[in-house]
């Protein structure tokens, strides 16, 4: 029995200034929620000082959505876990457009007793 799906997203080659922009990252997570019909029950955001990145987590009625950015490495990571079936969000094009990501890897994990894991890059499935 599958009880949920988890998506782990790694975006590389991102523009460092965008990875420091808390309002932009909030906008990205808001777009994910709007497009997938997710409902927030609370959130926490933290911008690290100086040249540091941003960490954000939104608790959902369906589970959670989180991001962590590493401007010094040009990397953003995202995690979405839903206990109800959802379509896949277009992480590849959206993160390319909004963060300048040159590479996006998505790992999908079905949670539960019949768990399965798939990893895809922008070029296809592995």
Listed residue (97, 87, 80, 79) closest to 36, CA to CA: 87
Listed residue (113, 85, 90) closest to 101, CA to CA: 90
Question: Is 68 a known active-site residue?
Answer: yes
Listed residue (80, 87, 94) closest to 40, CA to CA: 80
Listed residue (109, 100, 104) closest to 121, CA to CA: 104
Listed residue (14, 19, 95, 98) closest to 51, CA to CA: 19
Question: Is 63 a known active-site residue?
Answer: yes
Q: Which of 68, 82, 93, 113 is catalytic?
A: 68
Q: Which of 14, 30, 63, 113 is catalytic?
A: 63
Catalytic (active-site) positions: 63, 68, 83
């Amino acid at each position: 029995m599958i009880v949920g799906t988890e998506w782990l997203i790694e975006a590389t080659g991102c523009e460092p200034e965008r990875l420091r922009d808390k309002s932009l990252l909030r906008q990205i997570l808001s777009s994910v929620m709007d497009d997938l019909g997710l409902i927030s029950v609370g959130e926490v955001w933290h911008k690290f000082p100086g040249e540091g990145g941003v960490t954000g987590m939104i608790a959902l009625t369906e589970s959670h959505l989180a991001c962590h950015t590493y401007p010094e490495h040009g990397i953003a990571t995202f995690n979405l876990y839903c206990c109800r079936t959802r379509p896949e969000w277009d992480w590849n094009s959206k993160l390319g457009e909004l963060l300048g990501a040159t590479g996006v890897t998505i790992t999908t994990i079905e949670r539960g007793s019949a768990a399965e894991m798939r990893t895809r890059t922008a070029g296809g499935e592995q």
